[in-house]
Amino acid sequence: MDNDCIFCKINAGLIPANIVFRSNHCFVIEDISPKAPVHILIIPKVHVKSLSGIPSSNDSLSADIFDTASKIANSKNLNGHGYRLVINQGPDAGQTVEHMHVHLLGGKVLGEMG
């Protein structure tokens, strides 16, 4: 836990948020500022700043992130229409919270990336 990290605080119950799902390694919340009708964040429980901070040996965490994203997409009935997973990594991508997380966006036709 990083005491200055908003996502660590949410996971510890120190900041209120609607945690919609917990897996072994992740918790899932609705984005506070949604960019699409469905905008979910899949967040590792462990404080990892960025993708490169995930140890390559930790394949169970990597698998859990994708498994959780797939489960959430299913639960939101997004498989037929489609959805997008996004990781903003570092300043050029506009990462604002330095605790690695995956955005799941859907429920509308999404614009082009980049």
Selecting among 25, 47, 99, 101, the annotated active-site residue is: 101
Rounded distance between C-alpha atoms, residue 19 and residue 91, angstroms: 27
Q: Which residues on neighbouring strands pair with residue 42, listed in sequence order?
A: 28, 102
With CB under 5 to 8 Å by kind, the binding choice for 5 among ligand AMP, Zn ion, none is Zn ion
| Window 29 to 48, contacts with Zn ion (CB under 5 A) | 47
| Residue with Cβ nearer ligand AMP (29 or 42) | 29
Residue 83, binding choice from ligand AMP, Zn ion, none, Cβ under 5 to 8 Å by partner class: none
The verdict on whether 47 is a catalytic residue reads: no
Q: Which member of 96, 109, 111, 114 binds ligand AMP (CB under 6 A)?
A: 96
Tokens 């900041």 — which residue? 15
Amino acid letter, residue 11: N
Q: Going along 45-101, which residue ranges are E strands?
A: 83-86
* For the chain, the helix, strand and coil percentages under 3-state DSSP, each to the nearest 5: 25, 20, 55
88 lies in the site for ligand AMP, by CB under 6 A: yes
Positions marked active-site: 101
Query: Which residues in this chain contact Zn ion in the complex, by CB under 5 A?
Result: 2, 5, 7-8, 47, 99
